[in-house]
Amino acid sequence: MTLKEHIVSKFTSGQWILTVTCGIVFAYVSIKKIIPADAVIAILSMVFISYFQRDRSKENGGVK
């Protein structure tokens, strides 16, 4: 896979889109003071932790 294909596959992955969308939504509600900033931090922390701590060894047949 070329670098360009790798970047495109990352940007079109469902998890990446979900994470970015959550970030934008929670930034908006925090700026508009719809929910408190500490609640936004807690929710975003959970989203990002679950995204970055997933087990990637099971993807691609166990090859990293």
Give residue 45's identity as a one-letter amino acid code.
S
Distance between CA atoms of residues 39 and 26, nearest Å: 9
Residue 17's domain comprises 13-53
Does any domain span residue 40? yes
Judge whether 17 lies within some domain. yes
Whether 42 is in a domain gets the answer: yes
Domain count, the chain: 1
Both structure tokens of 47: 């989203």
- Give the Cα separation of 33 and 61 in Å (integer): 45
Which tokens is 63 given? 């090859």
**Structural domain includes residue 39:** yes
- pLDDT band at residue 64, thresholds of 50, 70 and 90? very low
Cα first-last separation, the chain: 14
**Could you report the per-residue pLDDT of 10-43, keeping only the tens digit for each?**
778 887 888 788 878 888 888 898 888 788 788 8
Given a contact cutoff of 8 angstroms between Cβ atoms, the answer to whether 10 and 16 are in contact is yes
Is this model's pTM higher than 0.85 or not?
Answer: no
